[in-house]
Amino acid sequence: MIATALAALHLGACGSSQAISCGPGGVRPHPEIGGQLLYTCYARPAVNGGLYLLDVTTGAVRPLTSDRAWNLAADWSPDGGRIAFQSTRQGHSDLYLMDVSDGRLRRLTDGVGFNEHPRWSPDGSWISFTSSRAGVNGPFGAGGSYRDIYLVRPDGSDLRRLTTLSVYDGIASWSPDGSRLAFVSDRSGAFDIYTMTSDGRDQRQLTHHEGSRGSAAWPSWSPDGSEIVFNASNPPGDSAGASIYTAPAGGGDATRVTRGYDFQPDWSPGGSWIAFLGKRQGHTQLFVVRADGRGLTQLTSDAADKDLPRWRPA
């Protein structure tokens, strides 16, 4: 189902600034896990979507944005000093860069189309993103929406289009060596995971839900490049609509990691943990688990929905 594959976004205009606390409820230190997680938190009407940073080791939560725009889908630069993210702060869905130390901002895209889901290349030379800027020149794919994958330099130059089908191609994730991108497409009749080279060639299908109920989305590579983690629909009759799975990056059978209604995974820099969103009771919260399914730990439990966790580079 599409709701499993893609988060619904209802974007609004900017309003007055208002900072809120978003995450401390139930947060406690987890030094055995360590690291920092960047995520979006929704606590309407106080904030539409704000970016927050959780120090997993100490339990401290720091807001990175405080306006009434939608700020979401953030990703780290390889050195951990900047983030790229999606925002409506100037009336359009555009991409911005922020210096995490002092909050300095720079707009990356130009207001053309709907721009979302930036991901930084491992060497920092490119940012991939999803956009509708080219328009539609054919029928929609199975999901009834249209996006393409683009590359741009961090200074906004050298824009390149990687996909050209009249379907949804988006939510790209870089392999650790920067040679390939994993992404989501509905070109075969359902949302599935594909991979391609960083110039758009050699597109291969990794998961296969076409002709059956279900979908897969939100890929993230393991640090050694051998596996891709993603969320996928569970078998019919399973009370959890979607869970976390892993599969060999070169293709092969998927292995189920979690048993709850879980999605949007991201592999930690050291490869020990997978962060993800879980909807177990009420709001979507941050969890971590080991790739073999052990060590399931809930990190947040307050009355606000979380979105798109991203580990800070080590």
Residue-wise pLDDT for 13-43, tens only, equals 333 333 445 765 667 899 999 999 999 998 7
User: Domains in the chain, start-ordered, CATH in brackets?
Assistant: 2-311 (2.120.10.30)
The backbone torsions φ and ψ at residue 122, rounded to the nearest 5 degrees and listed phi first, read: -60, -30
Cβ partners under 8 Å of residue 128, min gap 6: 118, 119, 121, 149, 150, 151, 162, 172, 174, 181
Which amino acid is present at 166? S
Instruction: Name 267's bridge partners.
Output: 274
Rg of the chain over all Cα atoms, to the nearest angstrom: 18
> What stretch of H or E contains 3?
helix 2-5
Other C-beta atoms closer than 10 Å to the C-beta of 224 total 10
Q: What is the pLDDT of residue 12?
A: 35
Cis preceding-peptide flag for 45 (omega within 30 of 0): yes
Six-digit token string for 39: 């995520």
Q: What is the DSSP letter of 5?
A: H
What is the average pLDDT across 72-77?
97
Residue 210, C-beta contacts closer than 8 angstroms, at least 6 positions apart: 188, 189, 190, 192
- What torsion, rounded to 10 degrees, do the Cα atoms 51, 52, 56, 59 define? -160
Does the pLDDT at position 266 exceed 90?
A: yes
Q: Which residue has the tokens 């690291």?
A: 35
The rounded distance, in Å, linking the Cα atoms of 265 and 249 is 15
Read off the pLDDT of residues 181-221 as tens digits, 9 standing for 90 and up: 999 999 999 999 999 999 999 999 999 997 667 999 999 99
Cα 203 to Cα 255: distance, rounded to the nearest angstrom? 22
Confidence of residue 57 (pLDDT cuts 50, 70, 90): very high
27 in Cβ contact with 288 (< 8 Å): no
Q: Over the stretch 90-109, which tens digit does the pLDDT of each residue have?
A: 999 999 999 999 999 999 99
Mean residue pLDDT across the chain: 89
Q: What is the DSSP letter of 4?
A: H
Residue 103: burial class (beta carbons within 10 Å; 0-12, 13-18, 19+): exposed
Q: How far apart are CA 314 and CA 312, in angstroms?
A: 6
Q: Can you tell me the mean pLDDT for 149-159?
A: 97
Phi/psi at 285 (nearest 5 deg)? -130, 165
